[in-house]
Structure formats: C-alpha cells, structure tokens
Amino acid sequence: MRPTGRLHLGHYHGALKNWAKLQHEHPCFFFVADWHALTTHYESPEVIEAYTYELVIDYIAAGIDPAQATLFAQSKVPAHAELTLLLSFFTPLSWLERVPTYKDQMHKLGERGHDLATYGFLGYPLMQAADILIYRANRVPVGEDQVSHVELTREVARRFNHLFGREKGFEEKAESAIKKLGAKKAKLYNVLRTRFQQEGDDAALKEAHDLLSDVQNLSMGDRERLFGFLEGGGKVILPEPQALLTPTSKLIGLDGQKMSKSYGNTIDMRDDEKTVSEKVRKMPTDPARIRRNDPGDPEKCPVWSLHQVYSNESTRRWVVEGCKSAGIGCLECKQPVIDGIIKELKPMRERAAPFEEDPTLVKNILADGCEKARDVAEETMRDVRDAMGLSFS
C-alpha cells in the first residue's frame, strides 16, 4: 500500500482482510510503498513520512501481526532500487507501455492535475516486479485487475534467467547447504534424494520436501538450492511468481462510486462511531424517493451495496420490502449498515489504540521488519550481481 492517506474499508475488504488470513498460511512480507507514492505525490513529499506510520497502524488494525508477518518500509531496503535499475537494462519499453493500468492512471490522475509524464511513473510496474522478485516470492495475492502486473513480473524473471542463466557453482553450494541440515537430517536427505532420482520414488520426494519445510535454520536461498538439487535441477536465480487470485469485494463509496481516497468518499478503518453514523446518514439514496412516502428501488440506491456486505438475509428482505412499499424511510434503511460498520471497526480501533498512543512501538516494528527484509533482499542481490558479472571486488 502507498502512504498517501488513511486506509479505508475498501482497502480492508479488497486486500487487508485477506492478508490477515494469509499470514497464518505463508511467510508474508507486507510493506509501505513510499517510493511508489513518489510516482504521483512527488510534489507533496511531506505526506509520505506521516502516512507511513499511519499505514503500519492500519495494517495492525486490520489484524496483521508483526510477530507473524514482516512489516517494513520500501525505501529502507535500498536493494529494491538496485534491482529495479538492473532489471531496467534489459526490459523492453513496450512491456511497460502496454500495462493496462498505465494508460488508465495517466488519464484519471492527469485529469486531477498530476503530471505523470515521468520516467518514474512509466517504470513503476518494473519496480513492482523488483518488489516481488527480490524476495523470490512464489505467490502474490492480487485481484483480477492486477494479474497483468504479476504477468509482467514473470516475463521479466524469465528474461533475466534466459540472459543470465542459473546460479554459478550450484552443486558446490547445494552440498554446503546439505551440511547445514546437521548430520542426521543430511544423511536422510541424501538417502531420499537417491531414492527419488534413481528409483523414481515419489514418496521419497514428498518426504524430502516435508523434511526441508521443517528445517528452521536454512536461508531462503539454501532452501531453494536443496529443493532444486533434490529434483536434479538447479537453482533459478529469480523464480517466476504465480498470481494468488483472491476473492475481493469492491466496496461502493459514500457517493456511489468505487470507494477511493482520491474521490473523498471513504469510511476510514479507524473512524469513530459518530463519524461513521454521520457519513452513512448523508449518503445519497434512490433519486425517486423525494418524499418519505415515495416508493423506491434498492438496486438504484448506493446504500443497498453496503447492505450486501453488512446485513444478513432477513435484513435485506426487510429493506427490499420496505423500500419498494415506502414502508421504511431512508434513514431507517441506513441504520443496519451503520450498526454493521461500527461493529466491524470496533476491534480495529482497539488493536490500533496502543500504537496511536506510543509511536515508538511503530518505529520498532519497522526497524525489526526492515532488518529482516534487508537480509533476504541482500541474499538475492548477491546472486543477481554474481550472474550479471558485478561481484568483482
């Protein structure tokens, strides 16, 4: 997420709710994309530092646990910029120009006065690719509208591996990694590897995979080497990630458009009860309902879309019947939505409260996350520099 404003319910239902779930299933890296924010907010950099800390609090409010996932700021891991630069040397310009969101954002944000005819904005999809590849991510949680970004990342990785091949000295490094398993596990690994490669024993392959998955003291690079050595291949320097398609809900904003901070139509994740009530009560409704006794159509009312998220089936039936018969007024119709949002936001505000009161906690989380991210990123960059002939001293 980019630190250009408070996060809202559209972010929560579109991504963060799923991120909180994924942290229990995979090792996850979630970062504040402050360099990406400069692609559109380079004229107002003062907002970036302030919202960087706010963004981390919003992550935590959404249920992301810094003890389980790695939270960090993009600019504090300089390797992101180095890999972006190195990838740019062989990425065709046409690949960047064809990204669907490029022309769309040029048009939309250009209408609001942003000058986006810059090298940085054209190259932001390549920096996104570097953001993914530097952690050798195998899954990227995205909605349908972002699959093209993951596909570009796959193409960039494929081109890199075609140009610069697989890791040099792979077998020697794999043998060294085996020793890190400890004598007992190293012996078992070699037995299982032999059974799979010489006898085609799939059960041995699975057992070896389970063995490696349980080892805690291996770096990400060594783990990949041992998986490759097990199956008779090599270590691909930049693995191609897969899009992890996730169910997303495009929440309608207060004006009936997609909820977006650019449109000023949001309910923020840490809004208090009074603010939520005031915002929803002011939402436009079916234009046909000029007077209280005018019947309406829920399908023509922006509030109806929020009922799909926050109301149960019986409440939705009550809304349909009451609206079409003018049996209920618009303020009555909005109240279940207000109650549902308030109920959802309450635990978020409670999780956020300690960090709002003590900003040092946020800074410590970022410091720890940045250190871990730098370690993983630097391991990747050593392999990249070596492959590109840049490891001389």
Question: Residues near 246 by Cβ (< 8 Å), separated by ≥ 6?
Answer: 15, 18, 141, 142, 143
How far is the CA of 148 from the CAs of 101, 120, 125, 271, 275, in angstroms?
Answer: 9, 19, 10, 33, 37
Residues of the chain with CATH 3.40.50.620: 9-166+241-250+358-387
Q: Which of 16-25, 191-200, 310-319, 322-331 has the lowest mean pLDDT?
A: 191-200
Q: Is the pLDDT at 107 greater than 70, yes or no?
A: no
User: From CA 46, how far away is CA 71, in angstroms rounded?
Assistant: 22
Strands 29-32, 139-142: pairing kind: unpaired
Per-range mean pLDDT, top range of 89-93, 96-100, 214-218, 261-265: 89-93
- This prediction has a pTM of 0.86
Mean pLDDT of 13-17: 93
**CATH number belonging to the domain at 9-166+241-250+358-387, selected among 3.40.50.620, 2.30.40.10, 3.30.420.40, 3.20.20.70:** 3.40.50.620
Q: Which of 64-68, 259-263, 295-299, 360-364 has the lowest mean pLDDT?
A: 259-263
Per-range mean pLDDT, top range of 93-102, 232-241, 338-347: 338-347
Question: How far is C-alpha 159 from the geometric centre of its chain's CA atoms?
Answer: 24
Residues of the chain with CATH 1.10.240.10: 273-356
Buried b (16+ CB within 10 A) or exposed e, 370-381: beebbebbebbb
User: Looking at domain 273-356, which CATH architecture does it have?
Assistant: Orthogonal Bundle (1.10)
Identify whether the C-beta of residue 9 lies closer than 8 Å to the C-beta of residue 259.
yes
- Give me the percent of the chain exceeding a pLDDT of 90: 74
Q: For residue 252, what are its two tokens?
A: 């309608």
Say what the pLDDT of residue 114 is. 66
